[in-house]
């Protein structure tokens, strides 16, 4: 029986973590032996792991300290393949594989647009990261990018042949997501026809650019009664709370923090907005579409344009432009999208992604 290992440091609340968990559960449903390898068995998502998934702890505090424990795991357990996610984790996985001397296939998956993410690093750190990634990714048996934009960025930055990078969109749509989206929510802003609910979900970081969204929402309120809820936690909470107060939006904007089930909120929202300056894919867009919610998104690198097929399934606006974002929100609330966004969401199913990863695991090609 085939045995697959998936390695990611933790099951904390992030997009890559959610993707790896969905893959682990999906592989296990196909009667494949699955080890979900973590530095520590913790995080908000760990409880959602299938009983069929074997949780392995490396008992390590950081990814770089996991090289030897991961090498020991590979020597002892001998999985047929190991899949890792995120660039620094991918580097660690390749190092551990070399140290282990095992025959396990190594598949690295990239979830970020390297060209964009490097802009947040110093020149020296960017060069070091690029050099390490270039070395490690060439040692891997397969490279997966979560969008074509991410794949193109890897080719441009690492000078890796584009044909050696496989795009596999993230596994999002599932029966479990639909079931959870039907759970009830108690909040005064739910089902208030006089005040449509606009929702956004993501970590409170500069990447998600909630500052622009809040400024845009100030303009929306000048023309339309509605409310805005942002789900997620992060280091910019104090700054965003201060901005909400300074703009006089306390009565119409709430930061509700991390919630265990964002899908129920999505299904009750009248509009979902993504305001990011960059994304590798944009999981939350597909999640909201699966719940039947209309979409407004920035046309940021790399995923939203591909998910929405250039605007066919939702409105796309330039990043960082509060005026255009405000107008798009108003237009979308006044004239909801006529297409059934659920049909597009189904394209990004867990089953589709799992089958494509199985093809990678069984492939004899070497990147």
What is the residue extent of each domain of the chain?
A: 3-171+349-362, 175-348
Domains 3-171+349-362 and 175-348 share a fold: yes
pLDDT of residue 174: 93
> CATH homologous superfamily for 3-171+349-362?
Glycogen Phosphorylase B; (3.40.50.2000)
| Percentage with pLDDT > 70 across the chain | 98
Please write the tens of the pLDDT for every residue from 83-135. Answer: 999 999 999 999 999 999 999 999 999 999 999 999 989 999 999 999 999 99
pLDDT higher than 50, residue 240:
yes
* Mean pLDDT to the nearest integer, 245-257: 97
Question: How are strands ordered across the β-sheet holding 253-257?
Answer: 253-257, 227-231, 197-201, 271-274, 295-298, 315-317
| Percentage with pLDDT > 90 across the chain | 88
Please write the tens of the pLDDT for every residue from 37-68. Answer: 999 998 888 889 999 999 999 999 887 889 99
Alpha-carbon gap, residue 44 to 278, rounded angstroms: 24
Which 3 state secondary structure label does DSSP give 349? Answer: strand
pLDDT of residue 115: 94
Alpha-carbon gap, residue 292 to 97, rounded angstroms: 43
Model confidence at 161, in pLDDT bands (50, 70, 90)? very high
**Backbone φ and ψ of 306, nearest 5°:** -70, -45
Q: Is the pTM of this model over 0.95?
A: no
Q: Which helix (H) or strand (E) holds 316?
A: strand 315-317
pLDDT of residue 367: 42
pLDDT of residue 340: 92
Alpha-carbon gap, residue 220 to 323, rounded angstroms: 9
Class of domain 175-348 (CATH, top level): alpha beta
* pLDDT averaged over every residue in the chain: 94
Please write the tens of the pLDDT for every residue from 317-367. Answer: 999 999 999 999 999 999 877 789 999 999 999 999 999 999 999 876 444
pLDDT of residue 364: 60
Alpha-carbon gap, residue 54 to 63, rounded angstroms: 20
Record the tokens describing residue 123, joined without a space.
């020149």
DSSP 18-85: HHHHHHHHHHHHTT-EEEEEESSS-STTGGGS-TTEEEEE---SSSGGGHHHHHHHHHHH--SEEEEE
Please write the tens of the pLDDT for every residue from 179-235. Answer: 999 999 999 999 888 999 999 999 999 999 999 999 999 999 999 999 999 999 999
């Amino acid at each position: 029986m085939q045995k697959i290992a998936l390695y990611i440091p933790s099951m904390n609340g992030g997009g890559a973590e959610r993707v790896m968990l969905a893959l682990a559960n999906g592989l296990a449903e196909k009667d494949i032996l699955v080890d979900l390898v973590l530095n520590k068995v913790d995080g908000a998502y760990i409880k959602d792991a299938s009983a069929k998934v074997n949780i392995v702890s490396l008992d390590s505090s950081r990814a770089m300290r996991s090289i030897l424990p991961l090498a020991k795991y590979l020597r002892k357990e001998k999985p047929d393949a190991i899949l890792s996610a995120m660039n620094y984790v991918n580097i660690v996985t390749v190092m551990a594989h070399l140290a282990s001397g095992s025959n396990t296939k190594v598949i690295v998956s990239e979830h970020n647009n390297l060209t964009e993410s490097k802009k947040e690093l110093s020149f020296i750190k960017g060069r070091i990261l690029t050099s390490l990634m270039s070395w490690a990714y060439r040692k891997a048996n397969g490279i997966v990018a979560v969008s074509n934009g991410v794949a193109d960025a890897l080719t441009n930055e690492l000078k890796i042949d584009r044909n050696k990078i496989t795009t596999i969109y993230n596994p999002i749509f599932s029966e479990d997501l639909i079931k959870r989206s039907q759970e009830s929510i108690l909040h005064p802003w739910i089902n208030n026809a006089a005040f449509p609910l606009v929702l956004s979900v993501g970590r409170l970081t500069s990447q998600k650019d909630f500052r622009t969204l809040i400024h845009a929402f100030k303009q929306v309120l000048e023309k339309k009664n509605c409310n805005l809820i942002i789900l997620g936690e992060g280091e910019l909470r104090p700054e965003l709370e201060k901005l909400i107060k300074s703009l006089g939006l306390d009565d119409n904007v709430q930061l509700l923090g991390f919630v265990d089930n964002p899908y129920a909120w999505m299904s009750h929202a009248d509009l979902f907005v993504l305001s990011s300056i960059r994304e590798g894919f944009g999981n939350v867009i597909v999640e909201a579409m699966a719940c039947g919610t209309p979409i407004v998104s920035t046309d940021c690198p790399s995923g939203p344009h591909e998910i929405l097929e250039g605007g066919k399934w939702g409105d796309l606006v330039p990043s960082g432009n509060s005026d255009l974002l405000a107008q798009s929100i108003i237009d979308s609330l006044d004239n909801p999208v006529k297409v059934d966004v659920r049909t597009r969401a189904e394209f990004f199913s867990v089953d589709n992604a799992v089958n494509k990863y199985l093809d990678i695991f069984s492939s004899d090609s070497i990147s």
